[in-house]
Copies of this chain bind each other. A is one copy, B any other.
Amino acid sequence: MQRKSFATMECPIARSLEETGDGWTLLILRNALLGARRFQDFQARLGIAPNTLTRRLERLVELGFFTRQRYAARPPREEYELTAKGLDFVPVLLALAAWGNRWVMREAVAIECMDPRSGHKVEPVLVDRRTRRELVAGAVGLRAGPRASRQLRQALKRGVVLGAKRQPEVAR
């Protein structure tokens, strides 16, 4: 994909996409969370070209999503183990999956979340940790964080609400 690099932007979405923003990368993370650990597991499950898979895995190791663990000495063989950073991607993929079930799969839902202890169906919703209010369009604002640039701080000064009807647009 040709595009400007997002790496220097201040937005955490843009910065996260720099690391994860291609379909294969997200599907590799998905399969790792489902238990895939070896090159051939990913390759067989995803039907991805080996050289593409090699590049994506290398990059995910560099970025700290995986560490390599040797599981055989001769010939040397390694598994890809998710780090805390990789494991913490679960809520992102589940939020995407829940949206996908609502708006893409609709009546054709093939996979749903469940509580592994009770077996009950689980419906993922994003809430504020403290107040437990649901974070949906019109009910979440953005503000400058501790390390915002002066320019960004200025742009966010009046506050911005995500998905609000008719509001002055913010610069990013």
Using a CB–CB distance below 8 Å, which chain A residues touch chain B?
1, 3-4, 6, 10-24, 26-27, 30-31, 33-37, 41, 45, 47-48, 52, 64, 82, 85, 87-105, 107-116, 119-133, 135-149, 152, 156, 159-164, 166-172
Quote the shortest CB–CB distance from A4 to chain B (angstroms). 6
Shortest Cβ gap from A166 to chain B (Å): 8
Q: Contacts A124-B126, A147-B108 known; A13 to B27 CB distance under 8 Å?
A: yes
Question: In the complex, are the beta carbons of A113 and B90 less than 8 A apart?
Answer: no
Interface pair A11/B30, CB less than 8 Å apart: yes
> With a CB–CB cut-off of 8 A, which chain B residues contact A162?
33-34, 90, 94
| Identical subunits present | 2
Complex Cα distance, B36 from A129, in Å, reads: 29
Closest to A171 in B: B45
Contact B12 A111 (CB under 8 A): yes
Q: Is A143's CB under 8 angstroms from B119's CB?
A: yes
- The CA of A149 and the CA of B30, in the complex, are separated in Å by 19
B141 touches A116 (CB 8 A): yes
Q: Is the CB of B128 within 8 A of A127?
A: no
Q: Are A141 and B115 in contact (CB under 8 A)?
A: yes
Q: A34-B172, A116-B161, A140-B113 are in contact. Are A93 and B124 (CB under 8 A)?
A: no
Let me know if A97 and B17 touch, CB within 8 A.
no
Contacts A88-B103, A139-B116: A14 and B27 contacting too (C-beta < 8 A)? yes
Residues in B neighbouring A107, C-beta threshold 8 A: 147
Q: Which of A89, A91, A170 has the most CB of B within 10 A?
A: A91
The residue of chain B having its C-beta at the shortest distance from the C-beta of A141 within the complex is: B116
